[in-house]
Structure 1
Amino acid sequence: MIDVRLAIPGDAPELVRLRRLMFHTMKGVDEPGPWEASAERLLRAQLAGEGAVLGACVVDGDPGDGGPHLAACAVGTVEQRLPAPGHPTGRFGFVFTVCTDERYRGRGYGRATTERLLEWLAGHGVSRVDLHAFPDAERMYRSMGFAEHSTALSLDVRRMGD
């Protein structure tokens, strides 16, 4: 059995480390920068219950394997929209960081943390959960019931007026 727990504010540095590892795995580029300190501050605050509803489910790494660290995480938020038919609470979830440290891959930690996060989201009245799947993880998400919902369109508002 995999011991998955809810993250606490003190887990913020490790959650940022795993997020950076996720980006490295997805893009093949390691991009440290000021975003890390901003992400850590935001995680600490939101895991303490300030601001948006954010949840993170984690698996602790082996203590003898380089000190205290996280082996895996799944992070998501609850977004409050207007209620609608089929979504009476108006609460939607978005999963945006699922990552397992290379030392722990192949043990089911990604699935376990994601399943626990989905339970947490459901407990917050969420009726639909969205995510962007990295091709290597798409099969896992589909086996959990994720499927195409609609065509997503995005706009980078920083580029407006260029």
Structure 2
Amino acid sequence: MSISGDDAGGRDATGTGPGSISGYGAGSPADPLIRRAVAADVPALVRLRALMLQEMGLVIGDQDAEWRHGAGTWFERRLRDTSRFAVFVADDPELGLVSCAAGMCEDRAPSPTNVSGFHGHVFNISTDVRRRRLGHARACLVALLGWFRDETAAGVVSLNATEDGMNLYRSLGFEAPGFPPLQLRIEGLDERPDTPRAP
């Protein structure tokens, strides 16, 4: 399995740098439990996602925002697909879930460099502001990468690196891909690209 920084929607909001996972949590009130998320964790996963999106500059709205309900439903559905989706969380004894890292396997056409065709996609890396710079995001991401390695056929794992998370990702082996992804938003297009006009 190789890892690279291409097409995912992740962000690490911790600003954590490189370091050994064995020493993570030093200086925290109590080391959290790193575990795989379950259905009961969905509200906290949505909360951490909202934090991540807000820090990316998005207007997230209030607690009743439509996207929150959609995100909760999405997490509930995905968590049932245990062979292709996983979230690892830091469960703090005082604050509950304070950090998370999510990943999924995408089924793509095989290639010489990825014979299985399975591609790991990392996203939703976020940490509560009260527990940052303690290694929690690193611990969650390391656990997630272990899942990709041991329980999936993913040949490549990628994510979108922000400046805050660059040191963390590079310390774990992520590197820039040879062909950077581009993005096009379909919403708002007057017509679909390359669609012939009606006579």
TM-score with structure 1 setting the length: 0.88
The equivalent residue for 1:47 is: 79
1:21-100 aligned within 5 A: 21-27=51-57, 29-32=59-62, 33-49=65-81, 53-63=84-94, 65=95, 69-100=96-127
* Letter paired with 1:39: A
SS of residue in 2 equivalent to 1:125 = coil
CA displacement at 1:31 relative to structure 2: 3.6
CA displacement at 1:26 relative to structure 2: 2.5
Q: 2:47 aligns with which of 7, 10, 17?
A: 17
* Cα deviation 1:11-65 (Å, max 9, x = unaligned): 1110010000111222275444211100101101111228x922100011223x4
Between the two proteins, the alignment pairs up a number of residues equal to 157
1:113-152 aligned within 5 A: 113-122=140-149, 123-149=151-177, 150-152=179-181
Max Rg structure: 2
Q: Is the 8 A contact 2:33 2:92 kept in 1?
A: no
Question: Is residue 156 from structure 1 mapped to residue 185 from structure 2 by the alignment?
Answer: yes
Higher helix share: 1
Identity of counterpart residues, as a percentage?
32
CA displacement at 1:154 relative to structure 2: 0.9
CA displacement at 1:99 relative to structure 2: 0.7
CA displacement at 1:125 relative to structure 2: 1.0
Structure 1's consecutive aligned runs of 4 or more residues displaced over 3 angstroms after TM superposition are: 28-32
SS of residue in 2 equivalent to 1:157 = coil
Flag structure 1 segments of 5+ consecutive residues without an equivalent. Answer: none
Q: Is the 8 A contact 2:110 2:116 kept in 1?
A: yes
Distance in 1, matches of 2:33 and 2:145, equals 16
Flag structure 2 segments of 5+ consecutive residues without an equivalent. Answer: 1-21, 23-31, 192-199
- Larger RCO: 1 or 2 (CA < 8 Å, sep 6+): 2
Distance in 2, matches of 1:108 and 1:80, equals 31
RMSD: 1.9
